Chains A and B, each alone.
Chain A
Amino acid sequence: MGFTKGKGQRESGAVFIWLTGAGLAASLVMIVGIVVLVATRGLVVFWPHELVELTLKDGKKYVVDEISREKIPPSPESPTPGERLQVRLGNRDLYGLDFRWIPQSEIASRSVPPDAVLVERQEYGPFQGFLAGIERADGKNVGPDDPGRFAILHELVKSARARAAAIRKIEQGAIGGVSYRLEKIRVASRELERKDPTKGPATQAKIGFYEKQIAQLQAEYETLRGNAEALAAENEKDKVTLADGNGTAKTSPVSTIVRFFRPNQLGFFGKLRTYLSRLWEFISGQPRESNTEGGVFPAIFGTVMMVILMSAAVMPFGVIAALYLREYARQGALVRTVRIAVNNLAGVPSIVFGVFGLGFFVYLTGGAIDQLFYSARLPDPTFKTGGILWASLTLALLTVPVVIVATEESLAAVPRGAREGSYALGATKWQTISRVVLPAALPGILTGLILAMARGAGEVAPLMITGVVKLAPELPFDGNFPFFHLERKFMHLGFQIYDVGFQSPNVEAAKPMVYITALLLLVVVVALNLTAILVRERLRRKLRSATF
């Protein structure tokens, strides 16, 4: 009565405030939960762990990295509950397996040897053990007890890595360029022969010219090859001998070592340096060991390039469609139907888009392009096979409803007064749209693009059949004209997660890579979105107050 409280809870709405708050809290918890899980698991992947020497009751010794511990429930064979330890053995070339469960009852003793060394190698994963000696090319061999042996090995690894980098540069840069040109000339000459099967004098002359060029390039190729081989031979000369806990020795060239360190001797900053070095290799390096080690740079590159290509395709497409729907089409049953259909497209499973992309873009469009422009290379397909262009276009198709809906909304939100002001000055419809309506709607259109990018960057299924591969030999962008090679297959972080996590033979080794790759994908998506958001804010500020 009067001003006194006492209305029911339902009328006051308090219940609904709590309900809406709880709804928001629940979604926040889920989002934060997944980010925290991925971040905590992902960020610790490269932190160096202590190496422990375990002596088992049968006398065998292993230098291991303790991963986890779990209780063994009592069973008929062993009635007392025990514990078992999951360890990384490393040394896959010696033991055949990387990870192993060891029952606590089998362990006789545990120690932390200060000189235990972890060697990351090009092949067979890490070696965990001790440095047993170095054979140097100049004969100045180093024994297992030499106090300077780690420093010497460090220098040797450094120069071997430098040579390896030089070899890679020759192989991928110079030799890649030469083979690219060779291929082009071969195709051109084949094209010529196809056009003029009788081989008239003009054709003959041209073919002769081509052959000369080919010979020249071949010679260039041989020289480069020779240089690379000389460097490779040089790299075989220094050898290192490593021994595991039992003293089994393994000798291999220093050049097989990627990085080595003594984790038990590292202080915090030493570990941090190792961590950063591994993280940098992950971000900037090439993958090794079927993607379970090394870097994911090609995948980052592929993801970013694909999202940019997709945006370039989806923006004009979606905006033009929305412009017609909102500004030009007569609003009626037909337009309403089209609008509903467009909205429902967003609900079509993405793999269906993938299948459509494969059929329409790859086989039909790609096939036609090959027939028209690349017939000399047939039957080898150029565009009639998955590639970054087709994958991007498929994703553009998948995300176009988002852009259309967002653009329509923002066009509808442009005040009527602005349009009328323009018409009243004698502007035509197109002048009004292009000079007043579109600039005012641009921030809203960019919101649509941001949503589309977020959706597209995380999509994997349609890519798997339109151009993503586990390991792409070349990036879709390089120094060879025309620089962008849109027909090439590419690597993608989302597919990398699936591939490493679920298709890898070495599941335990792959697990941490899944987390860090997922984290990286998140970071890439956030970075792309932030860029778009910054552009949008700039535009908004311009529209509101600042200079235009």
Chain B
Amino acid sequence: METMAPSSPEGIATRRPETGVPGQAHFGAGAPDSAAAATGRIVMDVQHLNLFYGEKQALYDISIAFPEKKVTALIGPSGCGKSTLLRCLNRMNDIIDGVRIEGKVLFDGEDIFAPRVDVTELRKRFGMVFQKSNPFPKSIYENVIYGPRIHGVRDKATLDEACERSLRDAALWDEVKDRLDESGLSLSGGQMQRLCIARAIAVRPEVVLMDEPCSALDPIATSKIEELIFDLKKDYTIIIVTHNMQQAARVSEFTAFFMLGRMAEHDRTKKIFTNPGQKVTEDYITGRFG
């Protein structure tokens, strides 16, 4: 680990992919335009983000852009800050006491940390899937339409339609269509996670954030979720935190590698996995540490 610590005072996060092979598409705050040109519209743009838990700094000067309707994987060893970054994107860190954030996160060009932003309105534009599936102690139906319901949708037909569409999109409809009023907690682990995905996409979010969605699942359930991610990216921008390197390689177009609270590398997944620009990335991916 010691040998991999950055030597330059600015830290490794400031080292851009362009220091690698010239002519590659550019990513990150410094080059949103070129990234957009290469990958489509940028939905979220993180600029020089620093995050502190009390006195302890957890994220150092992160700049990263997320292109529309693509899957971006965030990988790195435990405690590197990738989940923390993910939770910054829909301001879920707000509910934790003592979190301080510097820098900007632009969502459709607007800074989500601006004082006039209504957090609940912001979160409605995101769907989030957690590491441990967390269905509410309600029926399957009520779980899925929780989002639309709290946003004021009353019409039964609309809610039914949202429920069916979301469950179909989450590839769960056929398994649960006959028992929608059973408790969400009565499902199997993999089904529960797909229920949570259905719940997350029931509000038709623009971005789906996934925080290690498969880490508590068996391989069969995992492959189902991965297939699902493949289908979902047609409609949604997906940002996924994962510990599973193969998963990142399988599902994502872009990968960002994090180390000790800094972003070490961000590039096309293919490049990261075949020809990483950083030694530390290569060491991690090939399993030499972490």
Instruction: Encode B103-140 as 1/0 by CB contact (under 8 A) with A.
Output: 00000000000000000111110111010111111110
Task: Let me know if B183 is at the binding interface, CB within 8 A.
Answer: yes
Residues A420 and B95 in contact in the complex (CB < 8 Å), given A427-B150, A543-B137: yes
Contact check, A424 vs B137: say whether CB atoms are below 8 A apart.
no
Contact check, A426 vs B151: say whether CB atoms are below 8 A apart.
yes
Instruction: Encode B87-106 as 1/0 by CB contact (under 8 A) with A.
Output: 00010100100000000000
Tell me which residues from 192 to 238 in chain B have a Cβ below 8 Å from any Cβ of chain A: 196, 199-200, 203, 209
Contact check, A427 vs B120: say whether CB atoms are below 8 A apart.
yes
Which A residues touch B181, using CB under 8 A?
A: 547-548
Residues of B in contact (CB 8 Å), total 35
Partner of A425, one of B135, B139, B185, B200: B200
Which A residues touch B139, using CB under 8 A?
A: 547-548
By beta carbon, the residue of chain B nearest A414 is B137
Contact check, B120 vs A426: say whether CB atoms are below 8 A apart.
yes
Instruction: Encode A410-429 as 1/0 by CB contact (under 8 A) with B.
Output: 00000101111111111110
Q: How far does the Cβ of B104 sit from chain A's closest Cβ, in whole Å?
A: 21
Q: How far does the Cβ of A542 sit from chain B's closest Cβ, in whole Å?
A: 7
A258 to B11, CA, bound (A): 99
Q: How far does the Cβ of B190 sit from chain A's closest Cβ, in whole Å?
A: 16
A-B Cβ contacts below 8 A, count: 92
Chain B contact residues, majority secondary structure: mixed
Partner of A431, one of B121, B122, B150, B182: B150
Q: How far does the Cβ of B259 sit from chain A's closest Cβ, in whole Å?
A: 26
Contact check, A439 vs B182: say whether CB atoms are below 8 A apart.
no
Task: Let me know if A7 is at the binding interface, CB within 8 A.
Answer: no
Task: Let me know if B78 is at the binding interface, CB within 8 A.
Answer: no
Partner of A426, one of B132, B138, B203, B209: B203
Contact check, A421 vs B186: say whether CB atoms are below 8 A apart.
no
Contact check, B134 vs A415: say whether CB atoms are below 8 A apart.
yes
By beta carbon, the residue of chain B nearest A436 is B136
Tell me which residues from 491 to 548 in chain A have a Cβ below 8 Å from any Cβ of chain B: 542-548
Task: Let me know if B61 is at the binding interface, CB within 8 A.
Answer: no
A548 to B146, CA, bound (A): 14
Q: How far does the Cβ of B174 sit from chain A's closest Cβ, in whole Å?
A: 20
Contact check, B185 vs A424: say whether CB atoms are below 8 A apart.
no
Contact residue range for chain A? 20 to 34
Task: Let me know if A435 is at the binding interface, CB within 8 A.
Answer: yes
A417 to B95, CA, bound (A): 12
Contact check, A422 vs B137: say whether CB atoms are below 8 A apart.
no
Which B residues touch A421, using CB under 8 A?
A: 128, 130, 134-136, 196, 199
Task: Let me know if A460 is at the binding interface, CB within 8 A.
Answer: no
Q: How far does the Cβ of A153 sit from chain B's closest Cβ, in whole Å?
A: 65
Contact check, A439 vs B95: say whether CB atoms are below 8 A apart.
no
By beta carbon, the residue of chain B nearest A440 is B137
Contact check, B183 vs A542: say whether CB atoms are below 8 A apart.
yes
Contact check, B146 vs A435: say whether CB atoms are below 8 A apart.
yes
A415 to B196, CA, bound (A): 15
Q: How far does the Cβ of A93 sit from chain B's closest Cβ, in whole Å?
A: 67
Which B residues touch A417, using CB under 8 A?
A: 130, 132-134
A542 to B139, CA, bound (A): 9
Instruction: Encode A184-211 as 1/0 by CB contact (under 8 A) with B.
Output: 0000000000000000000000000000
Tell me which residues from 28 to 80 in chain B have a Cβ below 8 Å from any Cβ of chain A: none
Partner of A545, one of B128, B183, B199: B183
Task: Let me know if B6 is at the binding interface, CB within 8 A.
Answer: no
Partner of A547, one of B182, B199, B200: B182
Residues A420 and B138 in contact in the complex (CB < 8 Å), given A426-B121, A543-B183, A548-B183: no
By beta carbon, the residue of chain A nearest B209 is A424
A435 to B137, CA, bound (A): 10
Which B residues touch A435, using CB under 8 A?
A: 136, 146, 150
Which A residues touch B127, using CB under 8 A?
A: 424-425
Further contacts, 7 of them, CB under 8 A, given A425-B128, A425-B146: A418-B136, A422-B146, A424-B92, A425-B124, A426-B123, A426-B124, A544-B185
10 residue pairs A–B, Cβ–Cβ below 8 Å: A415-B134, A417-B132, A418-B136, A420-B130, A421-B136, A424-B209, A426-B122, A439-B138, A543-B183, A548-B138
User: CB within 8 Å of B: which residues of A?
Assistant: 415, 417-428, 431, 435-436, 439-440, 542-548
Counting from the closest, the 7 A-B pairs by CB-CB distance are A417-B134, A426-B124, A424-B128, A426-B123, A545-B186, A425-B147, A543-B137
